Chains A and B, each alone.
Chain A
Amino acid sequence: MSNIIDHLLSEILIRLPNCRDVVQCKSVCKRWCSLISSPEFIRTFIHHRHQHRHWQSLVSDSHLSMLLFQRHRFENKITSMPNNFQFCQVFGDKRKNFRESFLNFLPWDVIIRASADDLLLVSKPCNFSDFYICNPVTRKWVALPQAPPSITKLFIRCGLVRLPYNCNKQEKCTNNAQYRYKVVVFGYYSSFCAFSNWPRATIFCSETTQWSKLVDFQLPHPLKSWTSIGVFAFGGLIQILTCNGILHWLESSELFCWEGIVAFDPFTDVVEKRCRFVALPFDIDPENEILSAFISMTSICLGNFQGRLRLCLKCEVGGRCGLKVWELREYDQTAETSWSLVHNVALEIRFPSMIFPLALHPSISNVVFLLCRNELIWYNMSEGKSEKLAKFPFNIEKPSARLSIFPLMHSSWHTPVPALPL
């Protein structure tokens, strides 16, 4: 073994089944440690995965993804409650694991604000200017410079977008160990204000290491403004989902009723693609399948399935309950042509009003996570089989008001924080 040159040792190590096995090998000797830590080796490892199809199936293996559920209390600077943010984490392969110490490698209590791939954006409770990016698996983190402190006194919504740089070995192949990212923070600064208010936004860019000036963030047509009493009633907690480098969230400008999805791409230079409106794949029609618009606010969830946006709707007709899942194919088409229906099943459950779709499984197409009273249910849509995964340790009345959900998707190499130098 000792007469093997580094290049050949690389060839051997890249054939280990996953990056954990390789990182374990760092402890063997100094030579192995420095080889495995080198950016060149990591690039080769990732590239080898991209080249070989059968490795790809390992990447979408369910044990490589997880969902984090965070309970939320309304943050209020006057009555701050720093210890009431609890996390639970559920592994994709049904192993449940409630761990409140999940983020205890950070020196303070934090709230998760956003997630992208396998990274989390966190900040301290009631603090809207100190943000940190961390990889909860490797337990590494970095602090961002302070955001403009005047963003809001009320509440914020955040999004994180990460773009890997191109692999230097082949076109269209990316290297997720070297990346740039942007953090978008929306500040909602008044509550029952008139209908002309936009949230204010600031964007942090990792390349410039600076936050942008606070600007009014105009929602795309046909949305008129962000102010919906319904949204406020939910504490403005509606998730921002990162999918394919674009931030998505449900938005409304009417009372208690979702109007559509905003798709915001902070990295694009093309003006038309920067902030787009995506109509919902169904009509909010009280005569039709949706009994009332209010119900629809809690009956929808967005999900990221292998880089594609999906929407899940729980609909009720008569006493019968069903689940529909659509996938977004194109952004710039009409509602009829941009979405395609991928699942349409009846939910054979006794109390349909007690069921809420929480999240879609990031790598198994026909699995959706449902909330039934306090319990988290793994539901397989094709087989109609449900399985109780866990009971939440706290009371949940309205899911979208009380639970934030963050998917984490691991890829072939754990994302280093901070990114490897170019």
Chain B
Amino acid sequence: MIKHMIEDNCADNGIPLPNVTSKILSKVIEYCKKHVETPKLDERATFVDDELKAWDADFVKVDQATLFDLILAANYLNIKSLLDLTCQTVADMIKGKTPKEIRKTFNIKNDFTLEEEDEVCRENQWAFE
């Protein structure tokens, strides 16, 4: 996305990024620098550098708000590998939790009425077995 702005000659006075705070941007830059410096193998190769994987795992050890901000930033700046990493991290947080626990972890309001909740549970009972 930034590449496009540069190509379109909008970048003469600096590139505005209204959706990204400087704190998040510095994390993103940190991520990109690390991944650029590591020699990249074929995209579809199954071999992943263990050291890089460990670094990535550390990188996402942040509070929830930062994690979601990183997702938004990765999406806005179109950085696929960072989006992959951050979304996978949240998916791993969801996995294995009951719906009640998920609501608690992410502070989601349960807007089902009792009947609606019963119905959804009944219809999807098979998934819980």
Interface residue ranges, A against B (CB under 8 Å):
1-4, 7-8, 11-13, 15-17, 19-21, 23-33, 53-54, 137-139
Q: Select one of A13, A32, A137 contacting B91, CB under 8 A.
A: A13
Is there an interface contact between A26 and B94, defined as CB atoms closer than 8 Å? no
Is there an interface contact between A12 and B87, defined as CB atoms closer than 8 Å? yes
Also in contact, A3 and B68, with CB within 8 A (given A12-B91, A12-B94, A29-B109): yes
Sample of 19 further A-B pairs with CB below 8 A, known A29-B111, A29-B112 = A3-B72, A4-B71, A4-B72, A8-B75, A8-B87, A11-B71, A12-B87, A16-B91, A19-B127, A20-B127, A23-B124, A25-B94, A25-B102, A26-B120, A27-B99, A28-B99, A29-B103, A29-B109, A139-B126
Decide yes or no whether B44 CB sits under 8 A from chain A: yes
A-chain residues with CB within 8 Å of residue B127 when the two chains form the complex: 19-21, 23-24
Name 30 interchain pairs, CB-CB below 8 A, sorted by A: A1-B106, A2-B108, A3-B72, A8-B71, A12-B90, A15-B87, A15-B91, A16-B91, A16-B95, A20-B127, A21-B95, A21-B127, A23-B127, A24-B99, A24-B127, A24-B128, A26-B120, A27-B99, A27-B112, A27-B120, A29-B103, A29-B110, A30-B111, A30-B116, A31-B111, A32-B108, A33-B120, A53-B44, A53-B46, A139-B126
Interface of A, secondary structure class, is helix
Is there an interface contact between A15 and B120, defined as CB atoms closer than 8 Å? no
Number of interface residues, chain B, beta carbon within 8 A: 33
Bound Cα distance A33, B116 (Å): 11
B-chain residues with CB within 8 Å of residue A26 when the two chains form the complex: 120, 124
Is there an interface contact between A4 and B111, defined as CB atoms closer than 8 Å? no
A-chain residues with CB within 8 Å of residue B68 when the two chains form the complex: 1, 3-4
Bound Cα distance A1, B93 (Å): 13
**A102 CB, nearest partner CB in chain B, Å:** 12
Is there an interface contact between B108 and A29, defined as CB atoms closer than 8 Å? yes
Is there an interface contact between B94 and A16, defined as CB atoms closer than 8 Å? yes
Is there an interface contact between A25 and B99, defined as CB atoms closer than 8 Å? yes
Bound Cα distance A54, B84 (Å): 14
Quick one: closest B residue to A11, CB to CB? B87
Bound Cα distance A387, B56 (Å): 44
A-chain residues with CB within 8 Å of residue B98 when the two chains form the complex: 24
Decide yes or no whether B88 CB sits under 8 A from chain A: yes
Bound Cα distance A279, B110 (Å): 61
Is there an interface contact between A30 and B112, defined as CB atoms closer than 8 Å? yes
B residues 58-109 near A (Cβ < 8 Å) are 64, 68, 71-72, 75, 83, 87-88, 90-91, 94-95, 98-99, 102-103, 106-109
1/0 per residue, CB under 8 A from A, across B40-68: the answer is: 00001010000000000000000010001
Bound Cα distance A20, B88 (Å): 17
**A139 CB, nearest partner CB in chain B, Å:** 6
Bound Cα distance A139, B126 (Å): 8
Decide yes or no whether B117 CB sits under 8 A from chain A: yes
B-chain residues with CB within 8 Å of residue A27 when the two chains form the complex: 99, 112, 117, 120-121, 124
Is there an interface contact between A11 and B106, defined as CB atoms closer than 8 Å? no
**B122 CB, nearest partner CB in chain A, Å:** 10
Is there an interface contact between B46 and A54, defined as CB atoms closer than 8 Å? yes
Closest 6 CB pairs between A and B?
A15-B91, A23-B127, A27-B99, A1-B106, A20-B127, A11-B87
**B94 CB, nearest partner CB in chain A, Å:** 6
Bound Cα distance A53, B42 (Å): 14
Q: Select one of B83, B99, B107 contacting A1, CB under 8 A.
A: B107
B-chain residues with CB within 8 Å of residue A33 when the two chains form the complex: 120
Quick one: closest A residue to B106, CB to CB? A1
B-chain residues with CB within 8 Å of residue A13 when the two chains form the complex: 91, 94
Is there an interface contact between B46 and A28, defined as CB atoms closer than 8 Å? no
Bound Cα distance A27, B111 (Å): 10
Which residue, of A24, A25, A33, has the highest number of chain B Cβ atoms within 10 A? A24
**A66 CB, nearest partner CB in chain B, Å:** 13
Bound Cα distance A25, B108 (Å): 12
B-chain residues with CB within 8 Å of residue A16 when the two chains form the complex: 91, 94-95
**B1 CB, nearest partner CB in chain A, Å:** 16
Is there an interface contact between B99 and A11, defined as CB atoms closer than 8 Å? no
Bound Cα distance A76, B116 (Å): 46
Is there an interface contact between B95 and A17, defined as CB atoms closer than 8 Å? yes
Bound Cα distance A384, B78 (Å): 53
A-chain residues with CB within 8 Å of residue B72 when the two chains form the complex: 3-4, 8
